[in-house]
Each structure stands twice: as structure tokens, then as C-alpha cells.
Amino acid sequence: MSSRTVDDRLTILLALKDRVPFTLRWMTYAERFRLPFKVVIADGGTDDRAMQALSDRSAFPHVDYEYRRYPPDQIFSRDYWAKQADALARIGTPFVALADNDDLFVIDGVTKAVDFLEGHPEYAACGGQGAAFWVAGRTAAPDDPSYGRRVHWKYNIETSPLDDDTALGRLRQLSLNAAHPGFHYVRRTGQARQHVEVILRAGLHDVFLIERLFLWLSAIAGKSRQLEAIYIARQWNAPGGAGGTHQSQYGDWFERMLLPTWSRDFSTFVDFTSAALAARDGLPVSEARSVATELYRRWMAPQLLGDVMAEPTVTLRMPLIMRLVQRLLEYPYGSAIRRVARSLYRRTPWISIEALHGTELRTRRVPNAAEAFKPIYEFLTAGAAASQGRGPTSAGEPR
């Protein structure tokens, strides 16, 4: 390490599982731009090339890093998070940021996040804007997706503060974001350790649900701020990530909810978050559990919608029709609008019974349907007339 001053307030925890070209790119980026923060590298991969490259400290003289090799990450919920827990226990700086090797931090944005947290003890985490980029037009190494002749990127200003004074309020704010960027935020090291220990105890199977548990625990612990400065650049077409691997193996949200592990995952997720919420806000556990379930449902709905729309039995018109039906059902039962809609649906022969679900709008009349239904109609109407003015029917009489 050169004599360059290191900001000893923050450690970046870089978790590895192979993808060596991305690791080398990450370190080359850190070297070129003189990353001023400490770096702890927790390697749970099986490719020795990362260890060999990082053993030569002369290749990255301006990066203050510590490399540790761990047993291979075979089970994400166990091995990956055990690696993170051990690495966090060795970090002595007051702040930490979790990193993947296909994401590149913007030094100025990270510094501003650290400054903010240092001056606002009521906040648990702080980050900034995320830029998405795609590497295209690869060069001399066509099999290396980490560099390319063309890089497409975009971003938009998004402020997602979780600044309510209560943990419940912050969870409500968080539930409005289908994909909150807070996983890589700067956070307080002690709290990060606690949250990782909870994740290890929970033993969830689903990678995305584990990430959501981490975000919920952080929101319960304290406020979060998203600054306007660019904070991180994330490669969206990088292969081999934990999320993409998990999804390719187990499917999208809709498919994964059909797995035998899902019911336990969901129950455990609610157990841990409701316990933390009840303790933080002083709520009864039953109330906290009810709220956690409600907010989980609110967050999950947009995720499921995209997956359900991809099903071959679902058409584009279905959501529009079902939303129209839902709006009509929001009117009081006896309202004029609802009466007209109900009458139109019930009395128009060519409107299908399945029209409420959007699976079929028009239908043909069944031949002789009126004659076939007439005896049932007469039976029901006659029974109604006979029961007027009487009490409960005796045994054996039609009800």
C-alpha cells in the first residue's frame, strides 16, 4: 500500500464466488481511481486464480485490502452468509458496505454517504443513485464479459427515503419499492453484523427473500437516506450472479412459490421480521405479524404480476378486465353503478361467466338452455313464495 491516506471510517466487504475476470476488473478499477477505503475480500470460490492474482500486492499497490479464502459457497443461505458473518467480525471500521465484484462504487458518492451517516446517528444506512450499465462489443477476449468496446448505461433520479420515525412507517415506505437499492448502502458495522447473524439463524432458501430480510431488518433498525449523488454502477448483463443462478435453477417468483421450501421460508421471514418490529416499536407480536404479512403481500404483488403475465394462459386484457371488476366491487352493493353492471352481467346471454376473470368475454347460447333451466327456476321461486311469512322449515322440506 502506498502512502496515500486511507479513509479508515469505512470498509468495503467484497464477497467473491469465482467470476475471476470481474474480480480483476474490480481491483483494477480500485487501483486506477485510488479507492480510499479499506477492502476485505471474502473468497468463497473454487477458482484459485483469484487467490494467485491477489497474492501479488504489487499489482494493486494503492488498494488497502485483506484477502481471506473461505470454504466454497455450496449453499447460499449457509456458506455465503457464514462467510459474511466471519468477515464482518474482523472489520474494525464503524461503517461497512457490501459489494459484489460486478458492481463499481463511485468514490465521491460513497464518501458523501459516510459523511451523512457520521453526522446523523439516527440513520442506519445511506447510499445514493445507482447507474445500470451493459457491456457490449467485447474485445480481444470474446469470452470475457467484463470489458467491451461499447458500454451502454442509464440512470434516473430516484429518492427512496425511509425516514419515518417508526419502524412500521419505514417498512410501509419500503414496501412501495419493488427493488430497493439499499443492499449495497453504507451501514453501521455493528448493525450489519447483527442482521447477518439473524439471516444465518433464519436459514432461508430463497436468495431474493434473504436479501429482502436484510433490507427489512435494516429499515426496522433505523432510517435510511438515498442521496442524489451517483453512488454505484451495476452491470446488468453480468453472468454468474447469485440471483441469476438461483432463478435459473428454481424459476421466477411464481415458480419458486410452488417449491416445498417456500412455505417454511415465508413463515420464517414473517417470524423474524415481526419479532424485530414488535421489539423496535413496542407492538404486540400478533399485530406486528399481521402488519408484516400485509406489507409482504404489498411488496410481492408487483413481482408476481410480471411472472403471472408471462404464463401462456394469461392475456394482456386480463389485468384490465379484472381491475375494472375490482373497481366496480368497490362501490356499495346497492349503488346504481353496481346494480347496472350486475344486471348487465347476469342478463346478457352472450357475456361469458368467465368474463369476470378475463379468460373469456363472449360465449354462445346453449341450445334449449331456457327449457332445461325452467324447472329449477320454478322450484327456487316457488320455494321462496312458500317460505314467506314462515319460520325455519321443518325437516324434509326444501330449504
Domain locations in the chain as residue ranges: 7-306, 317-377
Cell numbers describing residue 98: 457490501
What the block records as the C-alpha cell of 186 is 453504507
The pLDDT assigned to 7 comes to 93
Q: Please give the pLDDT value at position 178.
A: 65
Contact criterion met (CB below 8 Å) for 93 and 64 = no
> What are the cell numbers at 40?
476485505
Burial class (CB in 10 A: 0-12, 13-18, 19+), 80: buried
Q: pLDDT by residue (tens digit) across 245-296? A: 888 889 998 999 999 999 999 999 999 999 999 999 999 999 999 999 999 9
Please report which confidence band the pLDDT of residue 223 belongs to, taking 50, 70 and 90 as the band edges: very high
Residue 335 cell numbers, joined: 349503488
Q: Which of 276, 299, 301, 274 has its CA nearest to residue 287?
A: 274
pLDDT-wise least confident of 32-46, 67-81, 222-236, 305-319: 305-319
- For residue 219, name the pLDDT band (cuts at 50, 70, 90): very high
Burial 97-107 (b: 16+ CB within 10 A, else e): bbbbbbbbbbe
What distance separates the 2 farthest-apart alpha carbons in the chain?
99
Q: Is residue 158 pLDDT above 90, yes or no?
A: no
Higher pLDDT, 389 or 141: 141
Q: What mean pLDDT do residues 131-146 have?
A: 77
pLDDT digit string (tens) for 291-333? 999 999 998 888 888 888 888 887 777 777 877 888 888 889 8
Work out the pLDDT band at 395, boundaries 50, 70, 90.
very low
Which fold does the domain 7-306 belong to in CATH?
A: Spore Coat Polysaccharide Biosynthesis Protein SpsA; Chain A (3.90.550)
pLDDT at 393: 45
Q: Which residue has the higher pLDDT, 385 or 239?
A: 239
Q: Look at residues 113, 299, 132, 115 and name the one whose alpha carbon lies nearest to residue 224.
A: 113
Can you give the pLDDT at residue 177?
74
**pLDDT greater than 50 at residue 142:** yes
In 3-state terms the chain splits into helix, strand, coil percentages (rounded to 5) of: 50, 15, 35
Q: What percent of the chain has pLDDT over 90?
A: 57
Is 391's pLDDT higher than 60?
no
Q: Tell me the three cell numbers of residue 195.
A: 442482521
Is the pLDDT higher at 328 or at 142? 328
The predicted structure's pLDDT at residue 326: 80
pLDDT digits (tens, 9 = 90+) for 334-366: 899 988 988 888 888 878 877 776 777 777 878
pLDDT value for 108: 96
Q: How far is the C-alpha of 50 from the C-alpha of 21, rounded, in Å? A: 9
| C-beta of residue 17 within 8 angstroms of C-beta of residue 73 | yes
Nearest 5°: phi and psi at 9? -85, -25
Q: How deeply is 39 buried, as exposed, middle or buried, from its count of CB atoms within 10 A (0-12, 13-18, 19+)?
A: buried
Mean pLDDT of the chain: 88
pLDDT category, 153, cuts 50, 70, 90? confident
CA distance 279 to 75: 30
- The mean pLDDT of 161-179, rounded to a whole number, is 88
